[in-house]
Amino acid sequence: MNKSSKIFVAGHRGLVGSAIVRCLKNNGYNNLILKTHAELDLINQSDVSSFFEIEKPEYVFLAAAKVGGIYANDVYPADFIYENLMIESNVIKAAHDNKVKKLLFLGSSCIYPKFAEQPIKESELLSGELEPTNEAYAVAKIAGLEMCKFFKRQYGDNFISCMPTNLYGRNDNFDLNTSHVMPALIRKIHEAKVNNSEEVEVWGTGTPLREFLHVDDMADACVFLMNNYDGEQHVNIGTGEEISIKDLAKLIKKIVGYNGKIIFNTKMKDGTPRKVCDVSELKSIGWRYSINLEDGIRDVYQWYKENMN
């Protein structure tokens, strides 16, 4: 990409998209196309086709998606599969029709099989059954990965894909019913401190192991891949390191400065028992994360206090 290249970031207000916009601007890219949902409904095929015909973007970061934690995925599966299928189908097809130079589609490591061999290599995709609590989302995102692969194979389109691990950062969703585990814990523990609560309830047993990547690192990796990778295989983006939900809660408790107890509601679902990505492919291309977990959580907690109270 040149600094003046016309770049469309789909989903620029979300956790992922906003980080990609920050990264692009910080690196001198000055010709970004940004549309709110009110300005462009990516679920509407006609609107997306017209947008691409008029704007003619050269590069596309497809970060728009309907996302949520275990609760949201479990309760609204029809919404998750429909909206995500429509978004990716409309954008990828319009990018092909309008000869976009390159498109990067973002998957998610939660779409790997529930019992994938750990650490998870890219080749594990579609090798086993999915985690039931997010099956609808996973099916849709897998379809997006496969679309990029097949448009590249049939038409020669330079459409690539990446598979970020669990992300956290500024502009995250802190709604306790629909958020992922990191923002949910930050909010719960912060509110417990403010309200002088004696204890905080965490869903599940606390034993699942998870990998967490600061969204600013993820955005840096996406821009790096856009400029340095053209392969058909999707690429994992992560740290290659893991922490239990129990230890994560303890770390957030320390950062927040909360002195009460953490209790675990074992009646709630745990999800996948372990999930950490093999990031050797990304390292071999020349990229590695830079923000450690404690520093990253401190950054997000400061942002939360300034913006979400």
CB 223 within 8 A of CB 23: yes
Q: Which one of the listed residues 137, 168, 258, 289 is annotated catalytic?
A: 137
Q: Is residue 92 part of a domain?
A: yes
What is the pLDDT at residue 180?
84
Residue 218 lies in a domain: yes
Give the DSSP H/E element, type plus range, for residue 218: helix 215-228
- Between 10 and 309, whose confidence is greater? 10
pLDDT at residue number 176: 84
**pLDDT value at position 221?**
98
The CATH number that applies at residue 61 is 3.40.50.720
pLDDT score at 136: 96
The number of folded domains in the chain is 1
The predicted pLDDT at position 79 comes to 96
pLDDT at 309 over 70: no
Does 70 have pLDDT greater than 80? no
Q: Is residue 305 part of a domain?
A: no
Percent of the residues in the chain that have a pLDDT greater than 90, as a whole number: 88
Residue 214 has pLDDT above 80, yes or no: yes
Phi first, then psi, for residue 98 (nearest 5°) are: -105, 15
pLDDT, mean over the chain: 95
- Rounded to whole angstroms, the Cα distance separating 157 from 235 reads 17
Does residue 45 lie in a domain region?
Answer: yes
**Is pTM beyond 0.75 here?**
yes
SS3 60: strand
Q: What is the pLDDT of residues 92-147, one digit of tens each?
A: 999 999 999 999 999 999 899 988 999 999 999 999 999 888 899 999 999 999 99
Q: Which two tokens stand for residue 106?
A: 């973002």
Which of 41, 43, 31, 40 has the alpha carbon at shortest distance from 7?
31
* Catalytic annotation present for 137: yes
> 219: Cβ–Cβ under 8 A, 6 or more apart, which residues?
16, 19, 20, 22, 23
In a domain, 270, yes or no: no
Residue 197 has pLDDT above 70, yes or no: yes
Bridge partners of 220, per DSSP, are none
| Per-residue pLDDT tens over the stretch 235-292 | 999 999 999 999 999 999 999 999 999 999 999 888 778 889 999 999 999 999 999 9
Report the pLDDT averaged over residues 26-47: 97
Residue 184 lies in a domain: no
Residue 203 lies in a domain: no
Measure the CA–CA gap between 94 and 107, rounded to whole angstroms.
Answer: 19
Domain-located, residue 254:
no
From 12-21, 25-34, 69-78, 166-175, the region with the lowest mean pLDDT: 69-78
Boundaries of domain holding 123: 7-171+212-240+277-290
Q: What average pLDDT score do residues 221-231 get?
A: 98
**Statement: residue 188 has pLDDT above 90:** yes
